[in-house]
Amino acid sequence: MIPLESRKIILIGFFLVLFGFIMPFLMVIGVVRSTFFWNFASYGASVLGLLLGVVGAAMYAARKKDD
């Protein structure tokens, strides 16, 4: 089972990447107006989510290696 700390980090990363995917999609179909803020926020969420996912996976791997 994944330790609690790394599970939270991976889950937060997943939701950030999901936000980074859904916001541009909503902008393209015209539900949300495309502004500099939303473009930057969705890009930043994608990058940060990917980074948190990698860090969470590394924490998980390090914890499993010790066990």
CA distance linking residue 5 with residue 34, whole number of Å: 35
**H/E segment holding residue 46:** helix 36-66
Residue 66 has pLDDT above 90, yes or no: no
Domain segments of the chain as ranges: 4-66
| Among 26, 19, 9, 64, CA closest to 44 | 19
pTM for the model stands at 0.86
Q: How does residue 2 score in pLDDT terms, banded at 50, 70 and 90?
A: low
Sign of CA dihedral 23, 29, 33, 35: positive
The answer to whether the CB of 49 falls within 8 A of the CB of 43 is: no
